[in-house]
Each structure stands twice: as structure tokens, then as C-alpha cells.
Amino acid sequence: MKKIVEQQMYPVTSTKTLKEWGCDEFIAESVNSAIKEKKNILIVGDLASGKTKMMNELISLSNPNMKYQFFYNSRGNENLLEQGYIVEERNRSRLIDSVDTLSQPCNINESVDFVVIDDVFREELVTIIKQLHDNKKEGTIATAFLRSESDLELIAIHLKKHFDLMIYLNGYKNTQSITFLK
């Protein structure tokens, strides 16, 4: 009976979807498990590398009954109309709260199951992650734009302690590496 319930709660194509992004079977199953267990996932990559698309894939793979809060920056570096940074239609029904970090304080809604952070400035990302870490809030999917190798040092210093998993993208559906941090 338990397997039937799990299949109803989560898409059976989850490993197939992750394989399309360059993950092998073991990694795809590990990422899928991390999503089900509400682990904290950081997606990093260069400009237009598919970070937001990967974020939407991971949201769609989570339990459809989970509700989330979305943090974004309306003045992000990417062309917002072309990139369609707003959450994809398939994931909008679960959105409880959306916060533009330019116009509102970054207050965490404690009633949500997980927090999604996309295309915010590094300083805002560090602030939000610190709040999540201090409040022991689990279940985060965040993106981080890497301008240079020094940005990885910033991640190691300020962000690594909160995240369980880091996905490094080389481009759209081109995963360079997945690192398990805990």
C-alpha cells in the first residue's frame, strides 16, 4: 500500500526528468530522495545556464501537496521576460507567498513546507539563508549565479552549511556536477 501512495504523491518520471539534465540513475534517485526528504538544494551556474528551469523541475518533482514561498528579485541580471523567471504554470497552484526582495523584507513564512529562492542578489541570498538556518527551516531550493570561481568561495563560507546538495550547471540540461554536502 505504501508504494501506491508514494506513486500517487510523486511523479514516476522523476528520475527520467533528472536524467534529461545529465544525471545518471544513482544521482537521479539521490536527488529525487533529497526532494522527498525536504533537503536543502542549491543550484549554481553561469548566466542563462538553466538554473531557473532546473528549479522548476525540482519543484514539480516534490509532493504536490507541499506549499512553498518564493523569493525573487525583480531587477535580476537576466532578461526577465525572455527567461520567464516567474514560477512555471505547473507549479503555481502550490505557491502561498511571493516576495520581491527589492520591495519587501525577507521574512520567512513559517507555514510553508519549503522555500524557493531564485535570481536574488548574493547578499540577499546570504541573508535569507541565514534566517532559514537560524530558524532550522528545512526544505530549500535556491539558485545562485556564478560570475567567477571566487563566487564558489562565497558559497563555501556563507551558504554551504545550510545546503545538503549543490547542483552545478554548465548550461541548459547540462549538469556538470552534483555534490552532496552533508
- Per-domain residue ranges of the chain: 2-180
Q: What is the pLDDT of residues 83-130, one digit of tens each?
A: 444 566 666 666 767 777 766 667 888 888 889 998 888 888 888 888
pLDDT, mean over the chain: 78
Question: How crowded is residue 165: how many other Cβ atoms within 10 Å of its Cβ?
Answer: 19
Which CATH number does 2-180 carry? 3.40.50.300
Question: Where residue 7 falls among pLDDT bands split at 50, 70, 90?
Answer: very low
2: pLDDT strictly greater than 50: no
Number of H helices and E strands in the chain, helices first, is 8, 7
User: What integer pLDDT is reported at residue 71 of this predicted model?
Assistant: 85
Angle between helices 25-36 and 51-61 (to 10 degrees): 70
Question: Where residue 36 falls among pLDDT bands split at 50, 70, 90?
Answer: confident
